[in-house]
Chain A
Amino acid sequence: MKDSAQVVAFIPRLRRYARALVGERGAADDLVQDTLERALNKFHLWKRGTDLRAWLFTVMHNVHVNQVRGRREYVPLDGDALEQPVRATPDTALEARDLERALLRLPVEQREVLLLVVLEDMSYEETAATLGIPIGTVMSRLSRAREKLRVLMEGLPGSRRLQVIK
């Protein structure tokens, strides 16, 4: 059996990450499909005995950078827009939906780090290697992602101050 068969086993995890990263199901599966196609074509580049999961997530990262981020509609919001709380009052029933929306309002490079650490349980070293960034960058993006998400979810006073009436 070819080693490449192992890739199949990672499809559910790639789909989970893609869903959290891009939000919409169809777009997420597009990303998984592009990733699998690329991984299939480049499989000879994977070094046997090294971490296949990290390699596949690296492929997905590169595909996402090349294909999705170039489109204008995916440019992350930042500045004041990002600081506006998703909701003003806590409501448990809406929390999951809100969390998904808040997550999509994080800059994509922060979202990636947060999702690899939280959903994939990657160590900081693995995350750094997967995304090709220094570990210090992983830590600062993680810290900023968590704080922004908290601000968005909780509608903290600090963020209300920054709300802009358009």
Chain B
Amino acid sequence: MSGIPITEADLQAFVDGHLPDGKRAEVEAYLAEHPDEATRLDAYRAQCAQLRELFAPVLDERLPERLTKLARPWRVPLGRIAAAVAWMAIGAAIGWQLRVAVSPAPATSARAPIARNAAIAHATYTPEVRHPVEVGADQEAHLVAWLSKRLGAKVRAPNLDSVGYSLVGGRLLPSESGPVAQFMYQNKEGSRVTLYVRATAPDQEQTAFRYADEGGVRVFYWIDRTFGYAVSSNHLGKDALLKIANAAYAQLNP
């Protein structure tokens, strides 16, 4: 015990999980002796959980057109360069194994909504401290069964331990083409990568391994007969992410 009095700010920080270990132990000891205060803080914690639960569905709502329309100027104008991108994509497909680590990023995701959607989902959920996933890795069998059922085909969560990332869990997200799954992985330092999995439409073109930079979120993606996959990170360099994407690819497309 440091003997420094516990302040109201300490109690708030206790509720939010922002206290260092030593101080937290002091607050716990204080609360053991002050049951009224413990009750009050319990109510605050319940309040936090209720607020998050109440507004969480907004994150998954389809964006109103007036907002996506507005957001369009943020992107590279798509129509003007679509043709160029098509040629780049063909080039990438021909030589992806050799070039993927060194080729310049396609300038836009005009032909790869999966990369863009995966990047948005990545940016939306990886900053979540307390609720990054809906179902945790401790219930992996349930998670995989649930997501498989919703996506209509057997989904797998690859094991990325060999590249230093362990499964945090997953969640189900809406998309224009139906439900999609997001698996989240984290390394020891707490940095996260996500694997986005979407069912492939019958008429959809399959693609080999591709790379896209979606406004700071780096994405490797590929589409096979059953699923489209995208591995995203906003902190790893391209080569580091490639290693992880390769590990996932090797297990998902053996």
Contact = CB atoms under 8 A, between A and B. Distances in A.
Interface string A1-23: 11111111111110110011000
Interface stretch (B86-94, B195-203, B208-216): B208-216
Given A123-B18, A142-B12, A1 B108 contact: yes
A125 B69 CA distance: 34
Contact of A36 (B71, B213, B214): B71
A59 interface: no
Nearest to A96: B54
A interface, size bucket: 35 or more
Nearest to B128: A121
B62 to A, nearest CB: 10
A6 B18 CA distance: 28
B interface, size bucket: 35 or more
A112 B76 CA distance: 33
A131 to B, nearest CB: 16
Nearest to A114: B51
Contacts of A123: 18
A148 to B, nearest CB: 11
B51 A1 contact: no
A36 B66 CA distance: 11
Q: Which 6 A-B pairs have the closest CB atoms?
A: A5-B215, A9-B123, A16-B58, A6-B215, A139-B9, A121-B129
Given A3-B215, A8-B75, A121 B127 contact: yes
Contact of A9 (B51, B66, B119): B119
Interface stretch (A60-68, A75-83, A149-157): A149-157
Interface in A21-47: 29, 32-33, 36-37, 40
A119 B51 contact: yes
Contacts of B58: 12, 15-16, 19
8 contacts: A1-B105, A1-B216, A5-B216, A12-B58, A12-B60, A13-B59, A40-B73, A96-B54
Contact of A29 (B67, B128, B129, B217): B67
A143 interface: yes
B54 A11 contact: no
Contacts of A121: 127-130
Given A12-B61, A150-B43, 17 more contacts: A1-B108, A2-B76, A4-B74, A7-B71, A7-B74, A8-B74, A12-B59, A12-B63, A13-B59, A16-B55, A20-B54, A40-B70, A40-B74, A114-B51, A121-B129, A143-B9, A150-B47
Nearest to B212: A1
B64 interface: yes
A124 B18 contact: yes
Interface of B: 8-9, 12-13, 15-16, 18, 40, 43-44, 47-48, 50-56, 58-61, 63-64, 66-68, 70-71, 73-76, 105, 107-108, 119-120, 122-124, 127-130, 213-217
A118 interface: yes
Given A11-B71, A29-B64, A19 B55 contact: yes
A4 B51 contact: no
Contacts of B216: 1, 3, 5-6
Contact of A15 (B18, B53, B61): B61
A53 B44 CA distance: 26
A40 B72 CA distance: 11
Contacts of A37: 70
B43 A154 contact: yes
Given A9-B123, A13-B124, A121-B128, A99 B50 contact: yes
